[in-house]
Amino acid sequence: MSDAVGVETPPEASGPSVGRVLANASLILTLAALASRLLGWIRLLVIGSQFGASADLDAYFAAFRIPDAIFQLVVAGALSAALIPVFSSYRAREDEHEAWRLASSVINLVLIALAVFSLVMAVLAPWVVPIIAPGFDAQTTELTVRLTRLMLLSPVFIGMGAVVSGLLNSYGRFGVPALAPLVYNLAIIAAAVVLAPILGVEGLAIGVVAGSILHLAIQLPQLRKVGRHYDLTIGLGHPGVRKVAWLMGPRLLGLAAGQVNFIVSTVLASNLGVGAVTAYNYAFQLSQIPVGVLGVSVAIALFPTFSRDAALGRIGEIRRQLSTSLRILIFLAAPLTAIMIVLARPIAAVFFQYGLFSDAAAERTAGALVFFSIGLAGHIVVHVLTRAFYAMQDTRVPVLWAIFAVAINVPLMVVLSGPMGVEGLALALSISATLEVIGLAWALRRRIDSIDEGTILRSGLRSALAATIAGLGMLAGLAAAQEWFGSMMANGAGRVPVLLVLAGGGTAVYLLAAIALRSKELGQVRRYLFRRRAGQEAA
């Protein structure tokens, strides 16, 4: 790793330009996110090939819901919405000592909260699991309870790891935090290979706990370098702690609402037959690959800059960064949407159809993937929009729109899951996510006067048209491939080159259409890449 990863950005310095931020995300965060998603796919592939879309794997995914909910509620509320903007505001005023008094108090309080929540849920698991998965039989329910209790150790460690990641990011140290998820995935893969054949699905749960411990441990050396002022204090009276608690309140409400989506989807999927929970989760994880590589990585890179600019009153700079980043993200999301919709079936087969993961399971997963992909652009850009609000220490507006999205999603899931099954659950989430993004953009426009919405809309329409042209080309190519190379596409190895050719051809058509439509974003992406390459050569 280059030394540049560890270079601290002076708090008084102006935030980096959008080009530099996005180029940095491409070099460090995007590559690390891509590697993490690749390992995540390998993890799912290994697990799926060993267990198939079975009751055991349904139990594993259902059991994961409770510890994940604890992590999301406690840590995401403290970190994403509250700690980093307040911490950055102290550093922007060059008050490093008070910044770390705040960070120390929040770290210690979060650790206590995670431990207490995990212990309480371990006791209540026999009563909570039947609520989350009412469609499971008695044996699967009992297994889910055991898995839940095992994995409840993980929020404590991965939660603290997430807090440490946020603090390191605020210092411009993205490298090690970006590697932590890789270690987490590697631990689960190792457990799937070594422990699962001996201990069954409980071996996977042990891997989750081991991965969460390593997720934290790998970051501690970097924390020691920047966190020289950390101590064991719990400063409940510290004004920064009170500010964090005040900001956390609305965010916790919004996250709780968001968890309702996952819990209700698990409840409904558990009643759709064996393998439905697995198919839903596999399709969702697959759809999240571009979300993590693009939306999350860029949002993480921009967040410290947003926070510094907000603390220094540079709203115009935030507006400029938002406009550019949103247009580029939509431009990149459009062809991925077309690829994932048109090529969903071969994608599901290439990614998952091995071992005990049957053709029927892949078909079910592909159907859900199509409808998840409809909302891909929304899932990507929502991360940037919400972080703009958090940087301005406004958690209320994102929470209100998150609650609105849940209020739309839950009844839609109930209505659509009947006639459409797992696909209906995915479609409901895509619709609600898109509406949430529209609402957030409207609210942000009112907050900062403008987000250059006219330019964003025109750019988005050009990207959508180019993606439609590319999708039609891939659809014709897929029909031809099925007719001419049907036997080749029937086996795992043969599907890969066909999928690569179709996806590559679709991407080429998209780029040609973008050139014909004079999409400015193509030139911006090219300049960022060349700028990064020139910087590397100069170094």
Of the candidate ranges 322-336, 353-367, 393-407, the one whose mean pLDDT is the lowest: 353-367
**pLDDT tens track for 261-287:** 888 988 898 888 888 888 898 899 888
Query: How high is the mean pLDDT of the chain?
Result: 81
Tell whether the model's pLDDT for residue 366 goes beyond 80.
yes
Please, which pLDDT band fits residue 412 given cuts at 50, 70 and 90? very high
Tell whether the model's pLDDT for residue 22 goes beyond 60.
no
**pLDDT tens track for 83-114:** 777 887 887 776 777 888 888 888 888 888 88
Q: Give the model's pLDDT for residue 203.
A: 92
Stretch 384-397: mean pLDDT: 82
Per-residue exposure over 453-481, b if at least 16 CB sit within 10 Å of its own CB, e if not? eeebeebbebbebbbebbbebbbebbeeb
Q: Give the model's pLDDT for residue 488.
A: 64
**pLDDT tens track for 512-533:** 999 998 888 777 777 665 555 4
Tell me, what amino acid is at 137? D
Q: How far apart, in whole angstroms, are the C-alpha atoms of residue 428 and residue 411?
A: 9
Stretch 468-489: mean pLDDT: 83
Tell me, what amino acid is at 499? L
The fraction of the chain above a pLDDT of 90, given in percent, is 25
Q: How many CB atoms lie within 10 A of CB 354?
A: 16
Q: How far apart, in whole angstroms, are the C-alpha atoms of residue 535 and residue 172?
A: 18
> Of 346, 347, 336, whose CA–CA distance to 380 is shortest?
336
Domain boundaries, the chain: 55-272
**Eight-state DSSP code of residue 42:** H
Q: Global pTM?
A: 0.72
Q: Give the model's pLDDT for residue 69.
A: 79
Of the candidate ranges 264-273, 311-320, 425-434, the one whose mean pLDDT is the lowest: 311-320
Residue 31 burial class via C-beta count within 10 angstroms: exposed 0-12, middle 13-18, buried 19 and up: middle
Which tokens is 384 given?
A: 């940037």
